[in-house]
């Protein structure tokens, strides 16, 4: 079958075939997924949160070997990093109160993580300096797209413009979206409460049109609970130019997930994807598990970012390193949206994108069925 067309202004802006951006997912969207999505006509985005400047540089090379199409890098630039400017990782760790360190020891005993285990995984996101070095790598490599998963890109916009790098800012409310307008980013993601990963408090359906209206004429990509062609059409109807989707890709062979994580998503109901601060200290949606319960129902409220993640990283990393054993696999951090029942079987990236476009085009061609009358409300959609 000939490939269907669904083209919006966002496609022209980013140089992609379909208005589907695969969202940055730190620790889960690495070069294989980025390459697969970009090759399939969307925009693949590397989740930069688990990288160092050196590994990020290597990953960019790997992506460029795998595809000549545009791709993005997503970095976390939380404003709270400014509060810890000049802090080393050790100094940050010393800022964690003793009662939290004691509780972490208790959790190690509970989840059979050795008392003396220290993660060897280096990441740069802890410090402002490390984060700036990551941005420098993106600038030096003139990556096609740079996204700020948390925080703002304002201070690097001039350099991005000079290198032809397109920028994406993420907003979970109108106030944050307006900060991205002030920074003059190229695309704003309106990310609703339904989303997997770090998320805000406003539902996608209510949020998207409010951000679309507020940021006009900046193009908006809708995010949060969009997992099929119906979701894409809904996003377009709300005024978005495309979608920014993470959960949609979690059952593909190219995501950095264990098979156990995929099985648990397939088995999950929409009520199992809960909001918790238990892993990173920021509100994030993920599958409920014994680790989230230990914080959500535990004696201490989670610390803020980045201290909480600094506290929990050893348990998180030990679990990943031993995820072939089910007792550790079940405490893996598994972010996913509320659209869990739409994520019900493993599928290759290309099939996902083709099916979403196919379904969206069919709905747009046939129109919306009018209940009872057998008629359809149709309209010729001019997307571009």
Please choose, out of 2-10, 84-92, 192-200, 211-219, the segment that lies near ligand FMN by the rule CB under 6 A: 192-200
> Strand ranges (DSSP E) for 67-218?
71-77, 145-151, 166-171, 187-191, 197-198
Measured CA to CA, the distance from residue 161 to residue 178 in angstroms comes to 19
Interface with ligand FMN, residue 248, by CB under 6 A: yes
Please choose, out of 179-187, 232-240, 274-282, 334-342, the segment that lies near ligand FMN by the rule CB under 6 A: 334-342
Q: Are 340 and 268 in contact (CB under 8 A)?
A: yes
Residue (56 or 300) nearer to ligand FMN, CB:
56
Residues 74-113 that bind ligand FMN (CB under 6 A): 74, 76
Which position among 43, 73, 190, 245 is part of the footprint of ligand FMN (CB under 6 A)? 245
Stated length of the chain = 384
Which position among 38, 52, 218, 247 is part of the footprint of ligand FMN (CB under 6 A)? 247
| Interface map 288-327 toward ligand FMN (x if CB under 6 A) | ----------------------------------------
Interface with ligand FMN, residue 6, by CB under 6 A: no
Interface with ligand FMN, residue 198, by CB under 6 A: yes
Measured CA to CA, the distance from residue 244 to residue 232 in angstroms comes to 10
Residues 222-241 that bind ligand FMN (CB under 6 A): 223-226
Residues 6+ apart with CB under 8 A from 280: 198, 305, 308, 309, 312
Place of tokens 């400014």: 82
Q: Retrieve residue 6's tokens.
A: 């669904």
Interface with ligand FMN, residue 337, by CB under 6 A: yes
Please name the helix (run of DSSP H) or strand (run of DSSP E) that holds residue 20, with its range, or none.
strand 20-22
Residues 6+ apart with CB under 8 A from 91: none
Please choose, out of 11-19, 21-29, 313-321, 368-376, the segment that lies near ligand FMN by the rule CB under 6 A: 21-29
Measured CA to CA, the distance from residue 67 to residue 62 in angstroms comes to 9
Interface with ligand FMN, residue 25, by CB under 6 A: yes
Nearest approach in angstroms of CB 380 to ligand FMN is 29
Measured CA to CA, the distance from residue 275 to residue 283 in angstroms comes to 6
Nearest approach in angstroms of CB 234 to ligand FMN is 13
| Residues of this chain that bind ligand FMN (CB under 6 A) | 23-26, 28, 47, 49, 74, 76, 149, 191, 194-198, 223-226, 244-248, 335-337, 339
């Amino acid at each position: 079958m000939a490939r269907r067309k669904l083209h919006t202004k966002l496609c022209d802006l980013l140089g992609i075939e379909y208005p589907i951006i695969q969202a940055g997912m730190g620790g889960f969207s690495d070069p294989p997924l980025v390459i697969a999505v970009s090759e399939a006509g969307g925009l693949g985005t590397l989740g930069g949160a688990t990288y160092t400047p050196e590994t990020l540089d290597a990953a960019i090379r790997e992506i460029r070997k795998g595809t000549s199409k545009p791709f993005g890098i997503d970095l976390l630039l939380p404003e709270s990093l400014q509060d810890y400017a000049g802090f080393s990782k050790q100094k940050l760790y010393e800022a964690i109160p003793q009662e939290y360190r004691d509780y972490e020891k208790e959790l190690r005993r509970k989840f059979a993580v050795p008392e003396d285990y220290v993660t060897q995984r280096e990441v740069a996101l802890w410090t402002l300096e490390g984060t700036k070095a990551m941005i420098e790598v993106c600038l030096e490599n003139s990556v096609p797209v740079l996204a700020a998963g948390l925080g703002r890109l304002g201070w690097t916009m001039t350099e991005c413009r000079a290198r032809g790098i397109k920028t994406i800012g993420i907003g979970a409310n109108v106030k944050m979206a307006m900060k991205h307008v002030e920074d003059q980013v190229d695309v704003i993601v309106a990310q609703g409460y339904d989303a997997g990963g770090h998320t805000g408090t406003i539902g996608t359906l209510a949020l998207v049109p409010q951000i679309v209206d507020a940021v006009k004429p900046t193009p908006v990509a809708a995010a949060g609970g969009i997992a099929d062609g119906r979701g894409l059409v809904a996003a377009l109807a709300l005024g978005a130019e495309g979608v920014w989707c993470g959960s949609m890709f979690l059952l593909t062979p190219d995501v950095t997930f264990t098979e156990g994580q995929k099985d648990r998503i397939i088995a999950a109901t929409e009520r199992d994807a809960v909001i918790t601060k238990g892993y990173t200290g920021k509100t994030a949606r993920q599958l409920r598990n014994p680790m989230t319960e230990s914080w959500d129902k535990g004696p201490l409220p989670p610390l803020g970012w980045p201290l909480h993640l600094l506290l929990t990283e050893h348990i998180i990393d030990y679990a990943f390193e031993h995820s072939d054993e089910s007792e550790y696999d079940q405490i893996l951090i598994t972010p996913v949206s509320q659209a869990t029942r739409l994520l019900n079987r493993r599928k290759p990236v290309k099939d996902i994108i083709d099916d979403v476009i196919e379904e969206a085009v069919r709905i747009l061609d046939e129109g919306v069925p009018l209940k009872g009358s057998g008629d359809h409300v149709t309209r010729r959609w001019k997307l571009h």
